[in-house]
C-alpha cells in the first residue's frame, strides 16, 4: 500500500505507473506473440478469427470493468481519508458483484456467439474458427478475468500497483509457453491458442487470491470463506453511480469496435487479418498513456479524499509530460518501421502475404501519427475519473465514437476503401480530446468527491 498524498507528484505517479506499464508491456507482447504464432503457424484465416473475437470479448468485460473503476475510486478516496472499514466493505461488495455477473454474462455470450459473428458480416470461411475459439475462451476465462480486474482495481486504490503485476507476468509467460506447446508440438490449432489463454488466466487468479489470503495486505483480506464477505447495498450504489458511466463508456467503445469490425469485414480476409495484426501493435503503443492515466486516477482519488487540489493539478501536468514524451518516441518507431513490424505476423508463402503487409502498414502510419491526441484525452480523463466524475466523459466518448468515428468510417470507406476507416479513428480522437480538455477546465468535476470518504475512521 502507498500513500499518494505526500511527496513529489510526478515521481509518485511515474513510480506507481511503472509496474502497470511493465505488466501491460508483457500483456501486449503476449498479444503480439499470440498473433505471430496464429498468423505464421495456423494461417491468415485463424488470425482473422482471433481478431474477430477480440471486440466481442472486450465488450463483454467493458461494463463490468467500469464498475471496478467505481470500486477503485471509492477505495482510493476512503483510503486517502483513512476510513479503512469502508475500504474492506468496498472490496467485499465488488467481489460478490463480479462473481455473479461473470457467471451470467459468460452463459449469455456463449449462447449468442454464432449469431453475433454473422451479424458482424464475418467472412464465412472465418466463422467456424472464430466460434470455436470464442466459445472456449468465454466459458473458461470470464470468471478469472473479472476477478483479476476487481482485485487489481482495489489494490490500485490503496496504492499497490505492483502485486497484481507479478501474477500477470507469470500468467503471460505461461500463456506464451502453452501457445507454443499446444500449437507447434500438439498441433491443436486455434483450439490450442484458446486453451492456453484459459489455463493461464485461471492460474493467475487462483495464485493472486491465494497470495492475498496469506495476509500480505493489512487492510484488505480476500477471504476464501464467502460467508465472511459483506455486501453493502449503499456502497454498491455509490460504485454504480461512479462506475456505471465509465462502464457504459467502455461498452460503447467495445460496441464501436464491433461496428468497425462490421465495416472492415466486407473487405475480405486479408484486410481483416491486417486489421487484427496492426491492432495488436496499435494497442502496444497506446498502453503507456492508458497506464499513466490509471495511475493518475488513483493519485487523484487519494488526494481528493485528503482535499489536496494543488497536488492534483501538479500531477496532471507531470503525467501529460511523461505520456507525451513516451507517445512521440513510440510513434516515430512505428511510423518508420511499420512494414518491418508487419512482416512478423504473416508467413511469406501465404496467399494474402503482400496485401496484409501493405494494409497493416497503412493502418499503422495513419493511426499512430495522431497518438498524441489519444494520449492527452486519456490522461485528462484520468483526472475526472479519479474524482468520480464519469458521466460527462461518457457523453464525450459517445459523441466522438458514435457521432463522428463510426459514421465517418462508413462514409469514407465507400470513397477511399479501407483507408477511410483508418482515417476515421484520429478524427474521433480529435473531438474526444477537445471535449476532455473543455470539461477539465470547467472545474465541474471537483464537485464529485464522495462525501462519505471523509467519515471518521471506523474500527
Model pLDDT, residue 30:
66
The total number of structural domains in the chain stands at: 1
> Residue 176: what pLDDT?
87
Task: Report helix angle 9-41 to 309-342, nearest 10.
Answer: 20
| Residue 1 in domain | no
* Nine-digit cell string for 352: 494474402
> What are φ and ψ of residue 144, in 5° steps?
-65, -35
Cα dihedral 164, 213, 230, 305 sign: negative
- Output the pLDDT for position 310: 85
Q: What is the dihedral angle through the alpha carbons of 123, 128, 131, 136, rounded to the nearest 10 degrees?
A: -150
Q: Is residue 186 part of a domain?
A: yes
- Residue 240 structural domain: 9-447
- Residue 453 domain flag: no
- For residue 31, the model assigns a pLDDT of 66
Q: Is residue 371 included in any domain, yes or no?
A: yes
Whether the CA torsion 144, 150, 153, 156 is positive or negative: it is negative
In a domain, 54, yes or no: yes
Would you state the pLDDT for residue 226? Answer: 65
pLDDT at position 220 is 55
Q: What is the pLDDT of residue 415?
A: 92
Rounded to the nearest 10 degrees, what angle do helices 418-442 and 371-386 cross at? 40
Q: For 72-108, give the DSSP string.
A: HHHHHHHHHTT-HHHHHHHHHHHHHHHHHHHHHHHHH
pLDDT at 453: 43
Who contacts 397 (Cβ-Cβ below 8 Å, separation ≥6)?
249, 252, 253, 432
Q: What is the pLDDT of residue 217?
A: 52
Q: Is residue 458 in a domain?
A: no
Of residues 425, 429, 427, the one with CA closest to residue 397:
429
What the block records as the C-alpha cell of 389 is 466524475
Which residue from 143, 162, 144, 164 is spatially nearest to 208, judged by alpha carbons?
164
Residue 36 lies in a domain: yes
Can you give the pTM of this predicted structure?
Answer: 0.69
pLDDT for 82 equals: 78
Q: How far apart are CA 315 and CA 197, in angstroms?
A: 36
Q: Judge whether 436 lies within some domain.
A: yes
- State how far the Cα of 191 lies from the Cα of 182, in Å rounded to an integer: 8
- Tens of pLDDT along the chain (459 residues)? 566 778 888 888 888 888 878 877 776 666 667 777 887 788 878 888 888 888 888 788 777 777 787 888 788 778 877 787 788 888 888 888 898 989 998 999 999 999 999 988 888 888 999 999 999 999 998 999 888 888 888 887 777 777 888 888 888 889 889 989 999 999 998 999 999 989 998 998 888 877 766 655 545 555 556 677 788 888 888 888 887 777 777 787 778 888 888 899 889 888 888 888 888 788 778 888 888 988 898 888 888 777 778 888 899 999 999 999 988 998 899 888 888 888 888 777 667 778 888 999 999 999 988 989 999 998 998 888 888 777 888 788 788 888 999 999 999 999 999 999 999 999 999 999 999 999 999 888 877 665 544 444 343
Amino acid at each position: 500500500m502507498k500513500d499518494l498524498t505526500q511527496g513529489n507528484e510526478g515521481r509518485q505517479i511515474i513510480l506507481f505507473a511503472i509496474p502497470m506499464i511493465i505488466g501491460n508491456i508483457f500483456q501486449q507482447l503476449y498479444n503480439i506473440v499470440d498473433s505471430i504464432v496464429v498468423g505464421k503457424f495456423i494461417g491468415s484465416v485463424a488470425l482473422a478469427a482471433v481478431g474477430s473475437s477480440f471486440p466481442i470479448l472486450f465488450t463483454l468485460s467493458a461494463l463490468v470493468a467500469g464498475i471496478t473503476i467505481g470500486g477503485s475510486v471509492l477505495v482510493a478516496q476512503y483510503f486517502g481519508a483513512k476510513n479503512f472499514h469502508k475500504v474492506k466493505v468496498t472490496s467485499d461488495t465488488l467481489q460478490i458483484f463480479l462473481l455473479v455477473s461473470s457467471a451470467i454474462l459468460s452463459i449469455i455470450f456463449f449462447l449468442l456467439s454464432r449469431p453475433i459473428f454473422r451479424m458482424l458480416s464475418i467472412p464465412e470461411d472465418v466463422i467456424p474458427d472464430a466460434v470455436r475459439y470464442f466459445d472456449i475462451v468465454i466459458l473458461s476465462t470470464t470468471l478469472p478475468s473479472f476477478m483479476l480486474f476487481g482485485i487489481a482495481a482495489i489494490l490500485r486504490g490503496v496504492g499497490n500497483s505492483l502485486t497484481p503485476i507479478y501474477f500477470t507476468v507469470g500468467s503471460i509467460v505461461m500463456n506464451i509457453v502453452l501457445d507454443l506447446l499446444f500449437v507447434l508440438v500438439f498441433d491443436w490449432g486455434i483450439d490450442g491458442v484458446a486453451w492456453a489463454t484459459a489455463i493461464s488466466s485461471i492460474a493467475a487468479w487462483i495464485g493472486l487470491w491465494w497470495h492475498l489470503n496469506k495476509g500480505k495486505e493489512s487492510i484488505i483480506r480476500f477471504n476464501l470463506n464467502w460467508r465472511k464477505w459483506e455486501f453493502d447495498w449503499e456502497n454498491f450504489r455509490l460504485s454504480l453511480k461512479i462506475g456505471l458511466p465509465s462502464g457504459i463508456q467502455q461498452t460503447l467503445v467495445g460496441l464501436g469496435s464491433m461496428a468497425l469490425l462490421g465495416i472492415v469485414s466486407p473487405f475480405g480476409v486479408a484486410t481483416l487479418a491486417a486489421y487484427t495484426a496492426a491492432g495488436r501493435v496499435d494497442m502496444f503503443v497506446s498502453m503507456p498513456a492508458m497506464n499513466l492515466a490509471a495511475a493518475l486516477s488513483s493519485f487523484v482519488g487519494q488526494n481528493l479524499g485528503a482535499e489536496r487540489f494543488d497536488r492534483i493539478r501538479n500531477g496532471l501536468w507531470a503525467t501529460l509530460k511523461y505520456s507525451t514524451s513516451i507517445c512521440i518516441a513510440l510513434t516515430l518507431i512505428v511510423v518508420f518501421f511499420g512494414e518491418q513490424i508487419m512482416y512478423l505476423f504473416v508467413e511469406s508463402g501465404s496467399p494474402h502475404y503482400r496485401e496484409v503487409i501493405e494494409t497493416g502498414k497503412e493502418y499503422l502510419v495513419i493511426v499512430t501519427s495522431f497518438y498524441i491526441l489519444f494520449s492527452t484525452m486519456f490522461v485528462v480523463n484520468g483526472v475526472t475519473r479519479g474524482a468520480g466524475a464519469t458521466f460527462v466523459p461518457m457523453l464525450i466518448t459517445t459523441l466522438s465514437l458514435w457521432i463522428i468515428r463510426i459514421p465517418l468510417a462508413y462514409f469514407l470507406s465507400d470513397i477511399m476503401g479501407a483507408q477511410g476507416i483508418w482515417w476515421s479513428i484520429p478524427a474521433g480522437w480529435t473531438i474526444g480530446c477537445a471535449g476532455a480538455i473543455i470539461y477539465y477546465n470547467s472545474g465541474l468535476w471537483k464537485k464529485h468527491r464522495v462525501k462519505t470518504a471523509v467519515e471518521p475512521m471506523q474500527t
